[in-house]
Amino acid sequence: MYLTCLPISRSIRENPAEVPRENVILFDEAQRAWDSTQVARFTKKSLRNSEPELFLEIMGRVPNWSVIIAVVGSGQEINRGEAGLGEWGDAILKSETKWIVRASPRVLPGNPDIPSQPLFGHVDSLLDFTQDTRLHLEMNVKSPRAEALNQWVDALIDLRLSDARNLFETIDEFPLVLTRELDNAKQWLRDRTDEDHRCGLVANASAKRLRAWGIDTNSLRKDSAWADWFLKPRGDVRSSNQLEIAATNFDCQGLELDWVGMCWGNDLVFDDIQSNWDTRLFRGTSWVRASEDPRKFMLNSYRFLLTRARRGMVIWVPKADGCDTTLNPAHFDATADLLREAGLSLID
């Protein structure tokens, strides 16, 4: 038996006669598997099936038996073409191979904890499917000090503010505060980070105008800079501990820090007139409103970034002076007020 957690090679994907040597594959972040459109775009149309369809077809070639372990994170589809959990369900139902499916009840319709879509809209009577509660990870292993943090983040992003306030009261071993001053955020992080722990700044990739405050979100895209950011010790200018370069939602996938400074941009601001999030993309010299899919990805990106800390987090919402038309002070102020309504205390 062979076990792998690496991508299946291109030769196996594109050669129907080739049989993989692996019996078991592990697909981490399975909700981010590509749909058929993104696969076709990436392969220049040489492949036209979704990633779930491709994996099921490839592993269906293995004689005797094979297993696909799909590890799913709730609400973490953050980029174009990431199809969500439902794509796996569709692929299973269309597969020529008869698969035995085991899944947590939490990925089925009617459960509030499921991602943006359930595994199956309905369970086909011919499908060998069993619900197993053991397949849901109840304990937050990333941040055991704040089991309610993810629930608080979901309530905040979903604008269930009453729920957010109540959940915030249960987060007692995970410092979570708000500031309007970047220097205060950095000092808060330095005061709490000892030699054995790491701190760092994170920001959404589309928060382009944080550049006005010197927040660099592009450096980690060069070569192996992200590895230096996560691994270099305090005092090394490449280290996250320097609090100079912010990791984006694409840089820190599957990774966390002990102490996080979340830099809130004006790509996602609260519209207190509409009582809803205003999601925007920076194009040229101005902001444009995001359409439905980019809006979903942006909300999920902030949901993701707000759960990168193991021990504590400070959220920095900038103050704007109104001199720059791309930085409306009212947008930042309304967002900061919303966070305070969700339970956060201002440390300024």
The reply to whether 120 and 192 lie within a common domain is no
The reply to whether 264 and 232 lie within a common domain is yes
The reply to whether 119 and 179 lie within a common domain is no
Rounded to an integer, what distance in angstroms lies between the CA atom of residue 275 and that of residue 98?
Answer: 48
- Residue that wins the pLDDT comparison between 314 and 83: 314
**For 117-142, how does the pLDDT look when each residue is reduced to its tens digit (9 = 90+)?**
778 877 777 788 888 888 887 766 66
Give φ, ψ of 276 to 5 degrees: -155, 165
Q: Is the pLDDT of residue 7 over 60?
A: no
Q: Is the pLDDT of residue 6 over 80?
A: no
pLDDT score, position 124: 73
Which amino acid is present at 94?
Answer: K
The reply to whether 223 and 269 lie within a common domain is yes
pLDDT score, position 265: 97
3-state secondary structure of 280: strand
Would 125 be classed as within a structural domain? Answer: yes
Q: Is the pLDDT of residue 37 over 90?
A: no
Rounded to an integer, what distance in angstroms lies between the CA atom of residue 121 and that of residue 117?
Answer: 8
pLDDT score, position 115: 47
| For the chain, percent of residues with pLDDT exceeding 90 | 49
Residue 218's nearest CA partner among 263, 248, 260 is: 248
**For 230-288, how does the pLDDT look when each residue is reduced to its tens digit (9 = 90+)?**
999 989 999 999 999 999 988 887 789 999 999 999 999 999 888 999 999 999 999 99
Q: Please say which residue of 75, 105, 135 terminates a domain.
A: 135
Would 179 be classed as within a structural domain? Answer: yes
Q: Please say which residue of 89, 105, 135 terminates a domain.
A: 135
**For 160-180, how does the pLDDT look when each residue is reduced to its tens digit (9 = 90+)?**
999 999 999 999 889 999 999
Q: Is the pLDDT of residue 347 over 70?
A: yes
**Domain count for the chain:** 2
Would 127 be classed as within a structural domain? Answer: yes
Q: Is the pLDDT of residue 4 over 70?
A: no
Query: Model confidence at 76, in pLDDT bands (50, 70, 90)?
Result: low
The reply to whether 326 and 288 lie within a common domain is yes
Would 143 be classed as within a structural domain? Answer: no
The arithmetic mean of pLDDT across residues 94-109, rounded, is 87
The arithmetic mean of pLDDT across residues 40-63, rounded, is 82
256 in Cβ contact with 309 (< 8 Å): yes
- Judging by beta carbons within 10 Å of its beta carbon (0-12, 13-18, 19+), is residue 158 exposed, middle or buried? middle
Q: Please say which residue of 110, 135, 160 terminates a domain.
A: 135
The reply to whether 157 and 109 lie within a common domain is no
Rounded to an integer, what distance in angstroms lies between the CA atom of residue 156 and that of residue 315?
Answer: 13
Least confident of 22-31, 147-156, 189-198: 22-31
Containing structural domain, residue 78: 3-135
pLDDT score, position 85: 81
The reply to whether 99 and 178 lie within a common domain is no
pLDDT score, position 33: 82
The reply to whether 115 and 161 lie within a common domain is no
Query: Model confidence at 72, in pLDDT bands (50, 70, 90)?
Result: confident
Would 141 be classed as within a structural domain? Answer: no
The reply to whether 88 and 128 lie within a common domain is yes
Rounded to an integer, what distance in angstroms lies between the CA atom of residue 154 and that of residue 172?
Answer: 18
The reply to whether 261 and 186 lie within a common domain is yes
Rounded to an integer, what distance in angstroms lies between the CA atom of residue 41 and that of residue 34?
Answer: 10
Q: How far is CA 275 from the centre of its chain?
A: 24
198 in Cβ contact with 261 (< 8 Å): no
The reply to whether 220 and 120 lie within a common domain is no
The reply to whether 163 and 194 lie within a common domain is yes
Rounded to an integer, what distance in angstroms lies between the CA atom of residue 122 and that of residue 304?
Answer: 28
Would 203 be classed as within a structural domain? Answer: yes
